[in-house]
Chains A and B, each alone.
Chain A
Amino acid sequence: MANLTAPPRIDLQDLQLDDARALLKHDARNSEQEAGESPTDYLQRVIDGLCELSLKDPLTGLGNRRHFCSVLERSIESVARSGESVLLLLLDIDHFKSINDKHGHMAGDQVLQAVASCLAHCVRPMDTVARYGGEEFAIILPNCRPLFGRAVAERIRQTVASLSIPVAPLQNIQTTISIGGAYAPEWVRSTADLWIERADLQLYRAKSNGRDQIRLEQPQELSVSAEEKGLLFGNLDMNEMVALEAASGDTPPNAADKATNRVNA
C-alpha cells in the first residue's frame, strides 16, 4: 500500500473552518494557524482539539458520557482478557435539586464544579472521572483490588462531605454524595449496559438507605482455589480417571466431530 506519489496539497482556503475555530476559541485554545505551521500540522491540531472537546463536559471539565462509555468498553475488553479487577463507581450528589431550588442554578453549577474537581483530585491519574449526567458522576478504577474498592469510595465520600463550597459572597454550602459500585465480572465479556445497571442498582440502594453512603456489589468469586481443587479430586477414585482414558482411547467420543470442537473450543 506504499503511496509513491506525493500527497495532495491541502489548501486551507478550500475548507470551512470557521465553526471549528469558534469552538476551539471558546475553549480558550489557539485556533489560528501559527506562523510557520504547515497546513497539515495545523489541521491535525484542529482535529485533535475537536476530538478532545467532543469528550469533555463543558461545565466541569471532566470527561463526558461519551468518553466514559468508550473507556468502559475498553475496560471490559481488558477484564475479559486479563481478569484484571476493575471497579465502576457511580456517584450522585444528595438532594441536589434542593440546592438548585434554594440557592439558584448558578450555585448548583458551582457545586457541580467543586465536586467534580474534588473527585478528580481524589483518584489516581490512571482512573477515569466523568460526568455521567445531571448531578451524577462516574469513576472507572482499573487495577482496583476488591479489598481497596471500599476504602477508595469511602475516601471520596468523606472528602466531598468535607468540602465547603462558596456559592455567594460569605455563603458556603456543604453537600454529600451517595456512591454505588460494581466490579466487572472477571474473565467474562460483559456489556457496558449490564455493568452500569449493576452499579446503578447499588447507587439506588445507597440512596434509598438514607444517602451519604456507599454500596458496593460483592465481587463474584469465580476462581477455584487450590484447596477446593484438592478436595474436589482428592477423594475421587483415580481408577475412574484411568478407566476413562482406557475406555475412550486417544480421542474422546466427541472429538472427531469437528463442528463440536470448533464450537466449543
Chain B
Amino acid sequence: MNDLLTPTADSQDTAKVPLKPLGKVLAVTSGKGGVGKTFVSANLAAALVKRGYKVLVLDADLGLANLDVVLNLYPKITLHDVFTGKAKLEEAILPAPGGFSVLLAGSGMVEYSRLTTEVRNEFLRIISGLVPHYDVVLLDTGAGISDVVLFAVSLASEVLMVATPEPTSLTDAYATIKVLVGQQQRQTVRVIINQSARPGSGQAITHQLQQVLDRFVVTERPIRLIHMGDIPVDPEVRQAVMRRQLMMQTTPGCPAGLAISHIAGALEKSVIPKPT
C-alpha cells in the first residue's frame, strides 16, 4: 500500500507518471464532454453486476459531478465529506439502482478541482481503501485533458475511451489518447463508440484512429487501440436519461442495453478475471 502513495521519480517525464496503476480499476473517460461517459459508466456497472461482479462507480469528475443526476441519487454524505474528514469512507458509499455501489463527489468537490498534493494523496488513499472490497472500480472521470482527469486516469489499469462518431468527438478522443500515451506510457486504450448510427462503424473508427496514431505518434512501444463495442442510437437511452432511470434496469433488452451487456462480456474476457 505504501508504494502506491510514494511516487517513484524514475520513469518518464511527468510527475503524474510514476503512480503505479492499481488492478481492477477502470477509468471511463472521453476527449469531449457530452458523449455519454456517465451513462456508459452507470450502465456498464449494472451489466457487470449481472455477470456476478461486485462493482463500485466513483464519480471522479471532482469539480463537475453528474453521476448523481443520472442515478437520481442525492445523498447527504458524499466524497466531499470524506475529503473534509466529516465522514468515513464507508458512510459515503451507497447502493445504486442496478445493484452496484456508488461514491458520489458532491457539489462541494468543486474546490478540489485544482489538483494539489493533498488532493492527490487523499484520492489515492480513498481508492486504495476501496480496491480490496470490489471486483471492479469504475472511475467516471471528467472529459479532456485537465490535470484532475489525467490523474484519475493514471490510477486505472485500463482506460475506456468513450467517443461518438462526430468529428469533434473523435478529434478530442485522438488528442486525449496522444496525451495518455505520452504522459502515462499507456500501450492500450479501449474504445467504446456511443451513439453509433450503423453497425460496424465503431470498428472502422477505431481502425482509423489507430492508423493516425501509428503515423503521427512516435513511441518506443506501439499503442494499441482495442475496440470494445458500439452502443447504437436508441430511443430507450433518451427515455431513461429523461426519466433519470438506469436503462440496464428498465429496458435491458433494448439495442443499447444489449450492446452494453456485450461490452461487459468483452471486458470479462480481456480485462477482469471472473470473480471467484
Question: Which residues from chain A sit less than 8 Å from chain B, CB to CB?
Answer: 185, 187-191, 193-194, 197-198, 201, 204, 217-218, 220-225, 227-229, 231-233, 235-237, 239-241, 243-244, 246-248, 252-257, 259-261, 263-265
Contacts and interface: CB of A to CB of B under 8 A. Distances in A.
A191 B211 contact: no
Among A241, A248, A263, the most chain B Cβ lie within 10 Å of the Cβ of A263
Given A225-B216, A247-B197, A265-B33, 9 more contacts: A189-B114, A191-B116, A191-B147, A194-B15, A224-B178, A233-B167, A247-B233, A248-B233, A263-B65
A240 B66 contact: no
Contact of B9 (A185, A201, A217, A224): A201
B115 A194 contact: yes
24 contacts: A188-B145, A189-B147, A191-B147, A193-B117, A194-B15, A221-B178, A221-B182, A224-B171, A224-B174, A224-B175, A228-B216, A231-B215, A232-B170, A244-B165, A244-B196, A253-B234, A253-B237, A253-B238, A254-B39, A257-B69, A263-B33, A263-B64, A263-B66, A264-B35
A232 B171 contact: yes
A246 B197 CA distance: 9
Contact of A191 (B69, B115, B178, B183): B115
B1 interface: no
Contact of A243 (B182, B198, B211, B215): B198
A189 B115 CA distance: 10
Contacts of A224: 171, 174-175, 178
Contacts of B15: 194, 197-198, 201
A232 B209 contact: yes
Contacts of B215: 231
Contact of A231 (B38, B182, B212): B212
Interface of B: 9, 13-16, 32-39, 61, 64-66, 69-70, 114-117, 143, 145-147, 164-167, 170-171, 174-175, 178-179, 182-183, 195-198, 201, 204-205, 208-209, 211-212, 215-216, 233-235, 237-238, 241-242
Contacts of B114: 189, 191
Given A204-B9, A232-B171, A244 B166 contact: yes
B118 to A, nearest CB: 9
Nearest to A235: B208
A232 B216 CA distance: 11
Contacts of A247: 197, 233
Contacts of B34: 252, 254-255, 260-261, 264-265
A231 B216 CA distance: 10
Given A217-B13, A236-B204, A228 B174 contact: yes
Nearest to A232: B212
Contacts of A231: 208, 211-212, 215-216
A254 B241 contact: yes
A80 to B, nearest CB: 9
Given A189-B146, A253-B238, A259 B117 contact: no
Given A217-B13, A244-B165, A256 B212 contact: no
B197 A237 contact: no
A237 to B, nearest CB: 7
B242 A256 contact: yes
A241 B167 contact: yes
A-B complex: 3 closest residue pairs judged by Cβ atoms: A264-B33, A259-B69, A264-B34
Among B34, B146, B182, the most chain A Cβ lie within 10 Å of the Cβ of B34
A152 B215 CA distance: 32
Nearest to B65: A263
B76 to A, nearest CB: 20
B195 A244 contact: yes
Nearest to A261: B34
A198 B17 CA distance: 11
Nearest to B32: A264
A257 B208 contact: no
B212 A218 contact: no
Contacts of A241: 165-167
Contacts of A228: 174, 212, 216
Contacts of B115: 190-191, 194
A254 B36 contact: yes
A239 B33 CA distance: 24
Contacts of A227: 216
